[in-house]
Amino acid sequence: MKFFDYFMLAAAYVLIEANNNMNQYHEYSLEDFVLDARFQEWVRYRRAHDVTFWEQYQKENPAQVGEMTRAQTLLQSVYKNYETHLDDNEIDFEIQELLSKVRATKTERISEETKNPESESIINIFSRNSIFWAAATLVLMLGLGWLYQHNQVAQSSYDRLTDGKSLKEEKNETKSSKIISLSDGSQITLTPNSKISFPEKFLVEKREVYLSGQAFFHVSKDPKRPFLVYANALVTKVLGTSFTINAQNRAIKTTVEVKEGKVSVFRQADFTDSKNQKALQSKGMVLTANQKMVYENETSNMLKTISDNPEIVSTVSSTTFNFINTPASEVLTDMENAYQVDIIFDKELLRGCPVTASLSKQSMIEKLDIICEVIEARYEMLDGKIVVYSRGCRN
């Protein structure tokens, strides 16, 4: 066989292998792309041969570009928070955590869309056999008993936490907010029908207060003495920042919302039982500016999200938000810096999308809506971050 024949045979083999490699991705969904090692390397390292392969694949499979773009953006949201030296196990864990949140969102959406309006009524089911009525009565009685006990525990949480301690209690029985100054210089704004207990002088090693209701905290910085707020089933730990806790008795949810700085939130059971600080940190949730934690009192689940009304962080230099043919990547970066919220997007892709708009009077969410409409993109809030999905602009 001549050299030319060998060359042609080898070339044909390479083409067949390349075709097989591309074919294996035809059935891929978002999760498959996120978990694929070659796809991860493309997003993470952007090596020339990977870029060539995936750009060619996108051209030949336009129907999958949407899923690939979303997978790419989700992976970038993980890689963004790490330095050059990465722990692959930690990266894999973050990716799995992110995917689990995506699955939960997807499942919830599907559940809402597939409700069956023709399902039989409860009355018809129970009327078939009296045993159902007996079972239903038993379940109802047990449920009411549990609910009563649960409410009693929730209602007495503040009393149990403060019982036997030498504390000063402040109540707000007025119809307006009440400002309380503490011995360390911290200030608490107590809303109506709320109360808080604290010592006249804090301990040398920590500052502890106990809340029932809702309050805004502006905590003086003291790195040697963490500030601890006990409210319902949670402990919020800070060194110096401002945040709001809403811990109403008998409420379904308890929330912690950060205005500036950073706080750590723990379940009281974990905080009390854990003596190892590293183990304790793994059980808590860290919140930064304009992030909110929602604690489900019934299930003990902790969910991180964006604050209801994000505000520009006062420590950040003012931004006018008036843009004339400004790349969308710069616009989103300005928003990220002003609100101190992670906004995940493809900078290279959006660098070619010009934005002309005056956004000084709009809220953060309104700004996002306008920007995404201009550049034909969409966004979603995921684990306290904002992820922007875009295919680029048609100039």
- Here the tokens at position 268 are 């009281």
Asked whether residue 289 falls in the same domain as residue 380, the answer is no
- Here the tokens at position 181 are 């100054």
Residue 211 — pLDDT band, cuts 50, 70, 90? very high
Question: pLDDT of 124-176, one tens digit each?
Answer: 444 445 555 555 555 555 555 545 555 544 445 788 888 888 999 999 999 99
Quick check: 389 and 67 in contact, CB under 8 A? no
Nearest to 233 by CA among 167, 299, 291, 303: 299
Asked whether residue 354 falls in the same domain as residue 278, the answer is no
pLDDT on residue 367:
94
Asked whether residue 289 falls in the same domain as residue 224, the answer is yes
Q: How far apart are the first and last CA of the chain?
A: 53
Give the C-alpha distances (Å, rounded to integers) separating 344 from 22, 24, 89, 381: 28, 29, 22, 10
Asked whether residue 174 falls in the same domain as residue 246, the answer is yes
Q: Which residue has the higher pLDDT, 107 or 159?
A: 159
Asked whether residue 282 falls in the same domain as residue 330, the answer is no
Nearest to 199 by CA among 231, 170, 178, 222: 170
- Here the tokens at position 59 are 């051209």
Q: Which residue has the higher pLDDT, 91 or 257?
A: 257
DSSP 151-208: HHHHHHHHHHHHTTS--EEEEE-SSS-EEEE-TTS-EEEEPTTEEEEE-SS--SS-EE
Give the C-alpha distances (Å, rounded to integers) separating 178 from 24, 76, 170, 370: 64, 45, 9, 38
Range of the domain at 77: 22-109
The residue-averaged pLDDT of 199-203 equals 92
Rounded Cα distance, 291 and 187, in Å: 21
pLDDT on residue 203:
92
Question: pLDDT of 259-297, one tens digit each?
Answer: 999 999 999 888 876 666 666 767 789 999 999 999 998
pLDDT on residue 108:
59
Q: Which residues, 6+ apart, have CB-to-CB distance to 208 below 8 Å?
A: 198, 199, 202, 228, 230
Domain at 301, CATH number: 2.60.120.1440
Decide if pLDDT at 234 tops 90.
yes
50-59, 118-127, 186-195, 233-242: least confident range: 118-127
Asked whether residue 221 falls in the same domain as residue 326, the answer is no
Q: Which residues, 6+ apart, have CB-to-CB distance to 251 below 8 Å?
A: 154, 232, 297
pLDDT on residue 185:
94
Residue 33 lies in a domain: yes
Question: Exposed, middle or buried: residue 33 (CB in 10 Å: 0-12, 13-18, 19+)?
Answer: buried
Nearest to 386 by CA among 327, 306, 323, 274: 306
Rounded Cα distance, 313 and 195, in Å: 28
Residue 198 lies in a domain: yes
Asked whether residue 301 falls in the same domain as residue 167, the answer is yes
Residue 317 lies in a domain: no
pLDDT on residue 46:
84
Asked whether residue 249 falls in the same domain as residue 379, the answer is no
Asked whether residue 231 falls in the same domain as residue 364, the answer is no
User: What's the pTM value of the predicted model, to 2 decimals?
Assistant: 0.64
The residue-averaged pLDDT of 233-244 equals 91
Q: Which residue has the higher pLDDT, 15 or 348?
A: 348
Domain at 345, CATH number: 3.55.50.30
Residue 4 lies in a domain: no
- Among 64, 82, 109, the domain boundary falls at 109
What is the chain's mean pLDDT, rounded?
79
The residue-averaged pLDDT of 64-93 equals 69
Asked whether residue 228 falls in the same domain as residue 204, the answer is yes
Asked whether residue 230 falls in the same domain as residue 287, the answer is yes
71-75, 76-80, 341-345: least confident range: 76-80
Alpha helices in 80-129 (DSSP H): 88-113, 122-127
Number of C-beta neighbours around residue 136 at 10 A: 13
The residue-averaged pLDDT of 172-197 equals 95
Rounded Cα distance, 178 and 176, in Å: 7
Question: pLDDT of 8-28, one tens digit each?
Answer: 444 444 444 445 555 678 888
- Among 275, 306, 337, the domain boundary falls at 306
Asked whether residue 169 falls in the same domain as residue 300, the answer is yes
Number of C-beta neighbours around residue 28 at 10 A: 18
Residue 116 — pLDDT band, cuts 50, 70, 90? low
Q: Pairing state of beta strands 242-247 and 234-238?
A: unpaired
Quick check: 171 and 177 in contact, CB under 8 A? no
Number of domains in the chain: 3
